[in-house]
Amino acid sequence: MTFKPNDPNINRNGRPPKELAIADLLRAESLEIDPDTGKSKREALVRVIYDKALKGERWACEFIADRTEGRPKQAIDFAQQKLEPIIGIIIE
């Protein structure tokens, strides 16, 4: 898709400033230290996930494996998909 002047779909404000992005806010919150335990919220979260994995929660085991070993490559079978032929290409 090419840029066109005065396109109403353009994000005129751009990306939000770093401090307003959700990932940055979550990261900052996770680094806060719990005064009772002296550990970060991130450390507490990891402990909860490991405890659930040790109790046999499948999602927790997969979560840990995905982040420590990486996800396995997944094959995609294109033979099952019905693709429509390209009739023409419009170049503006």
The tokens for 32 are 């806060």
Whether 92 shows a pLDDT value over 70: the answer reads no
16 band by pLDDT with thresholds 50, 70 and 90: low
What's the pLDDT score for residue 57? 96
If we measure between CA atoms, which residue out of 28, 60, 61, 32 comes closest to residue 44? 32
Distance of CA 77 to the CA centre of its chain: 24
More confident residue, 24 or 57: 57
pLDDT in tens, 27-58: 989 999 999 999 999 999 999 999 999 999 99
